[in-house]
Amino acid sequence: MTNLDGVDTAWRIHQAQTDWTGLVDVKASFIFAIASASMATTVALSATGRVFHDIAPTWLKTGY
């Protein structure tokens, strides 16, 4: 193995890690968007007179 082969291998490894990190970032952004939307929906539906308004007493009765 020559020095150029080692450099080429290092750049290939670097490129593979860059590609993998990019894919992970996309997946994390997607999950963050879904989690944020679900939390915002829950908070919005917890207002007085909404669907989740009386859910707190139910959770307290279960004794989690």
pLDDT digit of tens for each residue in the chain (64 aa)?
567 788 899 999 999 999 898 889 889 999 999 999 999 998 888 888 887 777 766 665 665 5
| Residue 45 lies inside a defined structural domain of this protein | yes
Q: What are phi and psi of 53, to 5 degrees?
A: -60, -40
| Residue 8 lies inside a defined structural domain of this protein | no
| Residue 57 lies inside a defined structural domain of this protein | yes
| Residue 33 lies inside a defined structural domain of this protein | yes
CB neighbourhood size of 46 (10 A):
14
Is the separation of the CB atoms in 51 and 45 below 8 Å?
A: yes
Whole domain around residue 34: which residue ranges? 24-64
Global pTM reads: 0.56
CB neighbourhood size of 52 (10 A):
14
Q: How many domains does the chain have?
A: 1
